[in-house]
Structure 1
């Protein structure tokens, strides 16, 4: 029986590319989504993956959603925490709601999904969790104190949870993408985007499938000796 993987925020952009890559690897892939019903419908039609709707920032919704996936498809052995939002503003213009919503979804979603699935992984003594961080969680970014804090928190969350899972066959890793050619980046003003690309040593934006291949490796059987690590896929823009 194929292992079951949940990819949060999985119906578009990087999430969709991850779903497609893991499906090609022979996994049974479920995409979580929050609101865009039409995108989810098209995703399922085009990929054959089932899509389940719940808010990853809602703790009870994650517990219920993962229980439903387990009941209807099988035990969840792989979780990719990809769901995330932005609410950009400089601190003096940022509202508490801007701060709280980004923390609730981007960082809280990682906790909620791990809380729902980690116990079963421990019991089965096998599991893979991959958290999608960001270059801006490593280097910071003007106008993104909420997003940078949440993504930086993901990197710390990854290292701590990895220590809990290491002896029971559960690996926990992160990927820190740089600027990837997605709808989120496409919304950046062209003049700003030109400056961003000029600062990337390889001279281009990344592609979603390049992030997906990193996830594909980290969730594979061959990656069992890698845990607590962050894989930076950013075209050389930030090195440390």
Structure 2
């Protein structure tokens, strides 16, 4: 990445930032599996439901300690959706403020030099566009961060909902098996329960493997998202360097004049 300071280069960097924001907003960083997973409301992040309580309701709560590992990912994934919204809101406000500054500067630079002609008019217009695009780059980076926070929260909520679904699905297989085993216990002297427990635990283990796959997809997608955000920060750094050079040139030209 170069540090050339012409208006075209800064404009290109601004477009690069906008492309990054669009990629994040369009979920291009998601793994194929997560992209195909049903969306979920971010409020899922703050859910406190315990799917395994269904075992108690079915009268087979004694199984809960044996398959409690299924709920551990939910405890790790859940958080405060309001915190995500608030953090993203702060970045959005910063983006709006920077955009307003850029628009105001661009308008004044145009109106206050409307009567200028010659090289001075051309140079000032070029520098004005560079500076305005530079400020817009700051705005776009803030928007990138806001979009990333919202999208990350939504995807984690999506995984919470998916893990909950997988657990509920597994319980739908476990409960009938244990119910039948308990019903047959008197006639089998409890052997039916002893035989059913390993079956139920195996169903839970298979479910755990599926959950682990979802968590791996979430981790890989998160790494992709971080790369996009870090790339935006790197582009902004180049823009700042370009604006610094522009400022130095302007100061030098004024001193010469």
Asked if TM exceeds 0.5, the reply is no
TM-score by structure 2 length?
Answer: 0.20
TM-score by structure 1 length?
Answer: 0.21
| RCO comparison, higher one (Cα < 8 Å, 6+) | 2
Q: Which has the higher strand share?
A: 1
Select the structure of larger CA radius of gyration. 2
